[in-house]
A and B are shown apart, each in its own frame.
Chain A
Amino acid sequence: MAGPLGKDLLGLAPLSADQIRLVLDTAVPFREISERAIKKVPTLRGATIVNLFFEASTRTRISFEFAEKRLSADTVNVASAGSSVSKGETLVDTARNLEAMKIDMVVVRHGGSGAAKFLAERIESNVVNAGDGTNEHPTQGLLDMLTLRDRFGDLAGKRICIVGDVLHSRVARSNIWGLTKLGAQVAVCGPRSLLPNAIEQMGVTVFNRIEEAIEWADALNVLRLQLERMQAGYIPSLREYNRVFGVTSARLEKASRDLLILHPGPMNRGVEIDSDVADGPHSVILDQVTNGVAVRMAVLYLLAGGKPELAEAAKKGVA
């Protein structure tokens, strides 16, 4: 089945600006469902969705599962541990077996860049990329954009800086593709060893110092810094990272204006972000989590063939 987004949501790179706006617009009425006492509409009743998580994930999987259940879909969760994947089954065989069970959608998280596309090209079901390697995490990018749009309105001309380990981040790529399509200015800031070599050619500004990024930006999207990066020799220590690139209240106070602070989570408090910033007045980190469910509901609805003009009706359970 193919709706206004096409058959699959593989990333924000393949989407047009209008398609991105469509998801964000559709998410707004769906957000209200989560505020109700009975958080459920029958929009996807009868649809079968498999959450195929080859990589450990807590918040993304739960967010998708809430989105699916609130739309009344039947869901099955498959994790790689304990599945036939751990016995050596290939991704394409897994896909074929799922297809043979006559499912409607697959939400896939995988450690390999391009894995969602690979799957989408081989099965007829709708495929939603829930993060593939270091390529894209489109629903995270969309929820970030919805959160920014809630505060800023139009994103055109807004300055968003992504801070941290851009090299290994699928969130960063989805943000870069999506935000630039909506006319925002995008920058990245972090140790050069954690920035892709040719990142400037993607149309982003590079800051080597967090102070410059803070002075420039309207919002910071702060990425998690993993301990493994230190062990792999990309940075000397987490302590030094915090001292040089950490988003701290002391640094933010010196800025000439207030910045919005985003973080896709999970956070390493005291490393890439200090607690008083994460919990502070400019943090929209929990808004992101709330928006995540709404965005995922919108994506599932649109991929299932839902018409954008009927989103309001779908919210009421009549479309």
Chain B
Amino acid sequence: MAYPIGSRDLLIRGGRIIDPSQGLDAVGDVLLRNGIVEACGGTISTPDGAEILDASGLVVAPGFIDVHVHLREPGREDVETVASGAHSAVAGGITAVCCMPNTKPVTDNQAVVGFVKQKAEQAGYARVYPYGAISVGQKGETLAEMAEMVAAGAVAFSDDGRPVESAQLMRSALEYARAFNVPIAEHCEDMTLARGGSMNEGIMSAKLGLKGIPAEAEEIYVIRDILLAKRTGGHIHMCHLSTKGSVELVRWGKERGINVTAEVCSHHISLTEDAVDGYNTNAKMNPPLRTAEDIEALQQGLADGTIDLLVTDHAPHHYDEKEREFADAPNGIVGLETALAVNTTYLLHTGILTLPQIVDAMSCKQAKIFHLPGGTLARGGIADVTIFDPNRQWSCDPKAFKSKGRNTPYGGHTFTGQARYTIVAGRVVYTA
């Protein structure tokens, strides 16, 4: 991708370098040159004319990647554009995102894939890798032209926002995509169980009089797709898992050597269904916020590696779209600018994950599973770096978001952990 490359050498000095891709956790320097990592670790002498960034007391990690975001362009540029979304990403310390294809028109052809890539390069913030839709128009009827989309730059396929209801079509997608070595990412939701639901089915939905979405609506598709991956040998990636049962099913699949990977959103490991109380539309998402028991299982799944990735499902909306009756409000939250903070606050400072585990789930594994550049500070890799302070306290003010969206359940929350410098292709694109 033709992203702008830093014009000078950049020496990141004296930070705690955490790079699980190299098994590295030590204080040292990193030198970036011509958009790639020139050297990593130890003491590096300052090249002539190099810019120096003092990272003492900070963590230096391979740039964070988020394989699950919605950028809304084309179609809803009033809500988010590729540029505003990419700006939002770097404000959260995220150097690359994969954007879902539920745009208008749907990203189901090479032209739209190319359009999104072009917009991202023009913006010059985070790198943007488009998803292609699994089916034409995300209608679940016929396979989209995957080969052409891969050639145009699509890195994975999904009908996210809706499930692939036909098991036969999902089977074909898993088989067909094998030739291109790209994941098929599934939005697991049995619509016959979930339809009309707007929150988790449980005591809170009973109290509020809202139709609930049972855990089984997700789990039925998780096990179906694991079995299809077993049959086909294809790579199934489970989007935004939210239930204890889903974690157990993915664990079952991995134990049998089935090619299954999984992600969890930061909001699903930090908030329960109680956040919906009072009909708070900023806590409305799909899949819905679940129970404390589910959160514990998701956190445990991250800790033992059953769940591979921490993502955001970044889903901006106009404030007036959320400003309505709960059942009619759209799903989702602005996630890119709070993800790192949520993860350090709820996973690191609670002792559930270590810093290397968080970096692994937010960077190294994302690159590895989605076959993306980055995810490493090894010499020769792209010069995408996230420098963050895991102990810095800050208060979330949605009005300050770089995203066009303001919809977040974390407004006013105090977090511990913040990105300080975001570097893409050797160029500092965000400083906090």
Q: What residues on B are CB-neighbors of A118 within 8 Å? A: 279, 324-326
- The reply to whether B202 and A135 form a contact with Cβ atoms under 8 Å apart is no
Q: Is residue B212 within 8 Å, beta carbon to beta carbon, of the partner chain?
A: yes
Query: Contact mask A196-235 → B, CB, 8 Å, 1/0?
Result: 1111011000000000000000000000000000000000
Contact B206 A201 (CB under 8 A): yes
A30 to B211, CA, bound (A): 37
Task: Assess A113 versus B206: contact at CB under 8 Å? Given A197-B201, A197-B212.
Answer: no
B residues near A52, Cβ cutoff 8 Å: none
Q: Are A13 and B327 in contact (CB under 8 A)?
A: no
Give the distance to chain A from B35, nearest Cβ to Cβ, in Å: 48
Annotate B326-356 by CB proximity to A: 1 below 8 A, 0 otherwise: 1110000000000000000000000000000
Give the most central of B323, B325, B327: most A CB within 10 Å: B325
**What is the number of residues of chain B that contact chain A, defined by CB distance less than 8 Å?**
21
* The residue from B206, B278, B323, B324 contacting A197, defined by CB atoms under 8 A apart: B206
* B203, CB-defined interface residue at 8 Å: yes
Looking at chain A's contact residues, the main secondary structure is mixed
B256 on the A face (CB < 8 A): no
Central interface residue in A91, A114, A197, by most chain B CB within 10 Å: A114
A residues near B207, Cβ cutoff 8 Å:
13, 173, 202
Asked if residues A202 and B325 are in contact (CB atoms below 8 Å), the reply is: no
Q: Is A90 an interface residue (CB 8 A)?
A: yes
Do A173 and B325 touch across chains, with their CB atoms under 8 A apart? Answer: no
B326 touches A90 (CB 8 A): no
Instruction: Say yes or no: is B214 at the interface (Cβ < 8 Å to chain A).
Output: yes
Contacting residue for B203 out of A92, A113, A133, A202, CB 8 A: A202
* Contacts A110-B325, A112-B325, A113-B326; A196 near B206 (Cβ below 8 A): yes
Chain A residues within 8 Å of B209, by CB: 113, 132-136, 170, 173
Question: Is A12 interfacial (CB 8 A cutoff)?
Answer: no
Tell me the smallest distance from the CB of A117 to a CB of chain B, in Å: 6
In the complex, A312→B16 CA distance in Å? Answer: 77
Q: For A113, give its contact among B201, B202, B208, B323 (CB under 8 Å).
A: B208
A115 within 8 A of B: yes
Within 8 A of A (CB), among B193-208: 201-203, 205-208
Interface residues of A in 76-124 (CB under 8 A from B): 90-92, 110, 112-115, 117-118
Residues in B whose Cβ lies below 8 Å from that of A197: 201-202, 205-206, 212, 214
Q: Give the docked Cα–Cα distance between A198 and B207 (Å).
A: 9
Chain A residues lying within 8 Å of B201, measured Cβ to Cβ, are 197-198
Query: CB distance B203 to A201 under 8 Å?
Result: yes
Output the least CB separation between B205 and chain A (Å): 7
CB-CB under 8 A from A136, the residues of chain B are 209
Once the chains bind, are B208 and A112 in contact (CB under 8 Å)? no
- Residues of chain A with a CB closer than 8 A to B208's CB: 113-114, 135
Q: How far is the CA of A115 from the CA of B328 in the complex (A)?
A: 10
Is B48 an interface residue, CB under 8 A from the partner?
no
Distance (whole angstroms) from the CB of A165 to the closest CB of chain B: 13
Question: Given A114-B326, A118-B325, A197-B214 in contact, is the A202-B278 Cβ separation under 8 Å?
Answer: no
List the 5 shortest-distance A-B pairs measured between CB atoms, nearest first.
A114-B279, A112-B325, A135-B209, A196-B206, A134-B209
Residue numbers of A with Cβ under 8 A of B are 13, 90-92, 110, 112-115, 117-118, 132-136, 170, 173, 196-199, 201-202
Residues in B lying within 8 Å of A, measured CB to CB:
201-203, 205-212, 214, 278-279, 320, 323-328
A and B contact pairs by CB, cutoff 8 A, 12 listed: A90-B323, A112-B325, A113-B325, A113-B327, A115-B325, A133-B327, A134-B210, A135-B208, A170-B209, A173-B207, A196-B206, A198-B206
